[in-house]
Amino acid sequence: MGEATEDLIKRTALALALLMLAGILCLALFPTSPLSTFLVQKIKQPPPYHFADDPGEGFTAFYPVRGRDKALRYVTQLAEVPAKQRDTVGKLVLAREQDPAELELPPQVVLYSASWCGFCRRTTVLLDELGVPFLHKDIERSDAMSDELLAIAGNMSIPFLIINGTEVTGYDPDQISALINP
């Protein structure tokens, strides 16, 4: 085997090792992210909890719901989720013997923003610093997302967040932090 081939093999092995490490870090730090869900589906081993469309055999699906008193409860039917929260609620999938009330779940966060918005960028940085996974909806990339924002908020003010069903308009780091870490 030539020196160039050995070098190529070493570089490929290093790249694969780094890719595996990135996947493991993603699973550990952001277990509900789309990438983590994809990785879990590929390796067929669910983490302690994950969001998915089909819970699979041996698992039960719950919808985490915040009540008016900010208390978190779990329901098993989407019809039990308040209509205002249905677009942002994820399906929590647990092994049948697990109790969802015992889990420390990250808050469910949706951010509507635009690339040109400085306060949107600050909000994204804040969410990253708080270590919370969030669904990012850029209203410039899709008319459907801007229509969705208009339907929910009644206007096009950004950044606009939904944190566990609570709406936050504008960049308010104190309110955002308080909602994420009650």
What single string gives the DSSP state of each residue in 37-80?
Answer: HHHHHHHT---SSEE-S---TTEEEEEEEE-TTS-EEEESSGGG
Three-state DSSP at 138 gives strand
| C-alpha R_g of the chain | 19
Quick one: 95 and 115 in the same domain? no
Quick one: 8 and 32 in the same domain? yes
CA 11 to chain centre: 33
Per-residue pLDDT of the chain (182 residues; tens, 9 = 90+): 678 778 777 788 777 777 777 766 655 566 666 665 665 555 544 334 444 455 566 667 777 776 666 566 777 777 777 777 766 666 666 666 666 666 655 667 888 999 899 999 999 899 888 887 788 888 888 788 888 888 888 888 999 999 888 899 999 999 999 988 86
Q: Which pLDDT belongs to residue 95?
A: 66
CA 83 to chain centre: 20
Q: What is the CATH number of the domain that holds 125?
A: 3.40.30.10
Quick one: 95 and 129 in the same domain? no
Q: Which pLDDT belongs to residue 31?
A: 61
- CA atoms of 87 and 83, how far apart (whole Å): 8
Give me the residue label for tokens 């329901």.
Answer: 75
Count of structural domains within the chain: 3
Q: Which pLDDT belongs to residue 176?
A: 92
**DSSP, res 139:** T
Q: Which pLDDT belongs to residue 4?
A: 77
Q: Which pLDDT belongs to residue 47?
A: 39
- CA atoms of 107 and 48, how far apart (whole Å): 16
Q: Which pLDDT belongs to residue 175?
A: 93
Quick one: 169 and 123 in the same domain? yes
Q: Which pLDDT belongs to residue 9?
A: 79
Q: Are 113 and 159 in contact (CB under 8 A)?
A: yes
Quick one: 37 and 65 in the same domain? no
In DSSP terms, 135 is beta-bridged to 110
Three-state DSSP at 144 gives helix
Q: Which domain holds residue 86?
A: 50-102
pTM of the model: 0.47
